[in-house]
Amino acid sequence: MSLNIDKIRSDFPALNQRINDDKPLVYLDNAATTLKSKPVIEAVNQHYQMESANIHRGVHYLSELATQKYEDTREKVKRFINAPKKEQIVFTSGTTAAINLVAQSYGKTYLQEGDEILITHMEHHSNIVPWQILCEQVGCVLKVAPINDDGEVIMDEYLAMLTEKTKFVSFVYVSNSLGTINPAKQMIDAAHAVGAIVLVDAAQAVAHMSVDVKDLDCEFMTFSGHKLFGPTGTGVLYGKEELLAKMPPVMGGGDMILNVTFEKTTYNRPPYKFEAGTPHIAGVIGLGAAIDYVSELGLEEIAAYEQQLLDYATNSLDNIPGIRFFGTSKHKTAIISFLIDDVHPHDIGSILDLQGVAIRAGHHCTQPVMQRFDIPATGRASFSIYNTHEDIDTLAQAIHKVKEVFV
Amino acid sequence: MNISDELYQQVILDHNKKPRNFGKLEGATHFAEGFNPLCGDHYNVYLTVDDSGIIENAMFEGSGCAISKASASMMTQAIKGQTIEFAKSLFDQFHKLVTGETVTDDGNKLLGKLQVFAGVCRYPARVKCAALSWHTLTGAIDESQDTVTTE
C-alpha cells in the first residue's frame, strides 16, 4: 500500500503556512528535526491540559493515568525496534544524552587504559566527543575508521582496525550529513568477533527505515524522538539486559532508587535506574503518538517513498551546472549534501530561505566529514514523508536563483 | 526577489567576488584571527598602525560567506588612513546598523557605503557573518592573543 501524501501533509499543520513574502513553506530540513503531526501535538496538549501529573509515585487518578501513558510508550518503543523486553528501553533527553550515559556508565566502569574505542569518520559530534571525554578520564584510545570519496566506511580498513584491543565500537546507522546507510549488521558481527561491545546511533535511521535490534544484535542503540516526528527533549537508549543490569547509574535522584538511607542507598532496577528525576512526561507520551503514526504508515512504505524522492531529487539537481554532491553511496537515505559553484552554503541557505525553502547550511555537527572533503560546510536538503516532487522542483528553481545572484 | 536584493546588494556581491585589501600584510603591527565556530567562517585581520595611531594599512585573508567577506573587504577600505578611534566608533555604528538599532544621521554619514549592510538586521542568523571581521578588528586593535569568536 503506498502512502497517501495529501493526507499526510494535512496531518502536519506547519506545512500549511506561507513565509517570507507569502511563499509556501517547503520544509527540507528533516535531518535536523522533523515536523510534528497533529496526533503528537494533541497527545502533548492533552497531557498538559487535562492529565498533568507526576509519574511512578502518585496514588491519585491523574498520576496513574500519566504513568500508564508514559509506560505505554516504553512498550511501543519496544515493539518499534523489536526489543525483547520493555525494561530494556531507557528514556533520555535525546541521542546525545543516551550516548553520554553509555560512555559515563558502561565506559567509565569497564574500559581501561589502553583499551580502544572504534568509531567512523562520519560520526556526529555526539558520537565523538563523549568518547573523547571518556578517553581523557580513563586513558583509553579513540580510533577512527576512514571513509571513501562516496562517503562510505572503507570496510577493509574498519575490519583491520578491529583487534583484541577494541573493547567498544560506536557508529552511526545513517549519516546525517552524507545520508550513507552503514552495513550495520556486518559491522556489528565483525566487532563481536573481537569481543567488542557495539552501540548503534540510529538517530537518523528510525524515521526512514525499520530498525530491528534483535536482528542487529547490537548491545546498545540510541535515537531521538524529535527526528521521528516526536517532541524535542525525548530520546531512547536500548541496551542488552545483562549490560543495563550491571551498569551503574550516572545521575542520582528521585525515581532511580529503591531505598535511601544516609548509610546505604539501593538503586532501582533498569530502566528506572537510569531515569533520575521527573522526566519529560508529556514528551514521552507524544513520542508514543509519533511511533503510532509512523507504524501505521509502515516503515517499508516510508523507505520506498523516500527512495523515490531521493532519485527524483538527485536527477533534478544533477542537471544544475556547477553542483557537487557529498555522500554518493548507493545505500543512502533521502539526504542530499551539496555545494554550488563556489557559493558559500550560508549564502545558498539564505537565498533558498527567501524563496520559502528551508534547508540546513553548515557542518551539520560533523566537522570531521567536512575536513575529509576539504570543504567548510555544505547545503543539505533532507526529505521526509510529507515532501513531494513539487517541493523538489521548487528547490531546483531556488538553486537556479542562487546561480543568478552569484553569476 | 526584493528581499534577496536587499540582503545581497550588488556592492556586496562585487566585494565578495573581488575582495579588496585581500591577503597577508607583511610587517603588520596588529593582527587578530576571527572565527565563527557555527559556520566555519575564518578571517585574519592585519593592521599597520603608526605612532600617532593612524591605520596606515589594513588587510584581511580567510574564507567565509559573501556577507562576511564583503563586510571584511569594505571594512578595510573604510578604516585605511583613519585613526584607531575612528575605526572604533565606525564599528559602534556598524554594529547598530546590522543589529537593527537606530542609526542617527551622523552615524549614517560615518558609515557611508557600509549602509548597504542595513538589510542584514532582518536576518538574525546572518548578523554574525557581517560582524565577524569587525570583532576581529577590535581584537587586533586590542592586541588580543586569543582567537576572536562570535560565540
Return the CATH number at A322.
3.90.1150.10
Residue B150 lies in a domain: no
Q: Examine the domain organization and report whether A303 and A291 are in the same domain.
A: no
Residue A4, C-beta contacts closer than 8 angstroms, at least 6 positions apart: none
Polymer length in residues for chain A = 407
Contact residues on chain B for A360, CB-CB shorter than 8 A: none
Q: Examine the domain organization and report whether A365 and A346 are in the same domain.
A: yes
Residue A35 lies in a domain: no
Residue A407 lies in a domain: no
Judged by a CB distance cut-off of 8 A, whether residue A347 touches chain B is yes
Nearest to A384 by CA among A261, A278, A226, A196: A226
Residue B150 has a pLDDT of 64
Residue B85 lies in a domain: yes
Q: Examine the domain organization and report whether A112 and A230 are in the same domain.
A: yes
Q: Amino acid identity of A185?
A: K
* Cβ pair B13:A405 closer than 8 A: yes
Q: Examine the domain organization and report whether A220 and A106 are in the same domain.
A: yes
Burial letters A239-268, b for 16+ CB under 10 A, else e: bbeebbeebebbeeeebbbeeeeeeeeebb
Residue B35 lies in a domain: yes
> What's the pTM value of the predicted model, to 2 decimals?
0.94
Residue B148 lies in a domain: no
Q: Examine the domain organization and report whether A127 and A274 are in the same domain.
A: yes
Residue B40 has a pLDDT of 78
Residues A368, A257: Cα–Cα separation, whole Å: 40
Residue A142 has a pLDDT of 98
Q: Examine the domain organization and report whether A290 and A302 are in the same domain.
A: no
Q: Examine the domain organization and report whether A258 and A141 are in the same domain.
A: yes
Number of domains in chain A: 2
Residues A248, A109: Cα–Cα separation, whole Å: 8
Q: Examine the domain organization and report whether A272 and A388 are in the same domain.
A: no
CATH assignment of the domain containing B119: 3.90.1010.10
Q: Examine the domain organization and report whether A169 and A192 are in the same domain.
A: yes
pLDDT mean over A42-59: 94
pLDDT mean over A218-246: 98
The radius of gyration of chain A from alpha carbons, rounded to an integer in Å, stands at 22
CATH assignment of the domain containing A88: 3.40.640.10
* Cβ pair A20:B65 closer than 8 A: no
Residues A282, A44: Cα–Cα separation, whole Å: 5
Residue B151 lies in a domain: no
Residue pair B26/B81 in contact (Cβ under 8 Å)? The answer is: no
Q: Between these two residues, A351 and B2, which has the higher pLDDT value? A: A351
The interface pTM score, or ipTM, of the predicted complex is 0.87
Report percent pLDDT > 70 for chain A: 100
Residue pair B60/B22 in contact (Cβ under 8 Å)? The answer is: yes
Residue B12 lies in a domain: yes
Nearest Cβ partner for A344 among B1, B7, B64: B64
Judged by a CB distance cut-off of 8 A, whether residue A228 touches chain B is no
pLDDT mean over A108-121: 98
Q: Examine the domain organization and report whether A45 and A101 are in the same domain.
A: yes
Number of domains in chain B: 1
Query: What distance in Å separates residue B12's CA from the closest CA in chain A?
Result: 11
- Looking at A296, A317, A333, which one is the last position of a domain? A296
Q: Which domain holds residue A168?
A: 41-296
pLDDT band at A79 (very low <50, low <70, confident <90, very high): very high
Residue B125 has a pLDDT of 87
Q: Between these two residues, A346 and B146, which has the higher pLDDT value? A: A346
Q: Examine the domain organization and report whether A81 and A210 are in the same domain.
A: yes
- Looking at A248, A267, A296, which one is the last position of a domain? A296
Residue B43 lies in a domain: yes
* Cβ pair B129:A346 closer than 8 A: yes
Residues A25, A356: Cα–Cα separation, whole Å: 5
pLDDT band at A145 (very low <50, low <70, confident <90, very high): very high
* Cβ pair A350:B123 closer than 8 A: yes
* Cβ pair A343:B13 closer than 8 A: no
* Integer angstrom CA distances of residue A52 from A142, A282, B123: 44, 8, 38
Across chain B, which has 151 residues, the per-10-residue mean pLDDT values are 72 95 95 87 94 95 95 97 96 96 94 95 92 96 70 60
Q: Examine the domain organization and report whether A138 and A188 are in the same domain.
A: yes
Please, what sign has the CA dihedral across residues B50, B53, B54, B59? Answer: positive
- Would you name the residues of A annotated as active-site residues? 365
* Cβ pair B3:A351 closer than 8 A: no
Nearest Cβ partner for A362 among B1, B39, B67: B39
Residue B81 lies in a domain: yes
Q: Which domain holds residue B113?
A: 2-143
pLDDT band at A98 (very low <50, low <70, confident <90, very high): very high
pLDDT mean over A34-49: 98
Query: What distance in Å separates residue A22's CA from the closest CA in chain B?
Result: 12
Contact residues on chain B for A351, CB-CB shorter than 8 A: 4, 8
Residue A96 lies in a domain: yes
Judged by a CB distance cut-off of 8 A, whether residue A350 touches chain B is yes
Q: What are phi and psi of B104, to 5 degrees?
A: -75, 170
Nearest Cβ partner for A344 among B2, B65, B123: B65
pLDDT in tens, A4-13: 999 999 999 9
pLDDT in tens, A368-390: 999 999 998 999 999 999 999 99
Residue B122, C-beta contacts closer than 8 angstroms, at least 6 positions apart: B3, B6, B7, B100
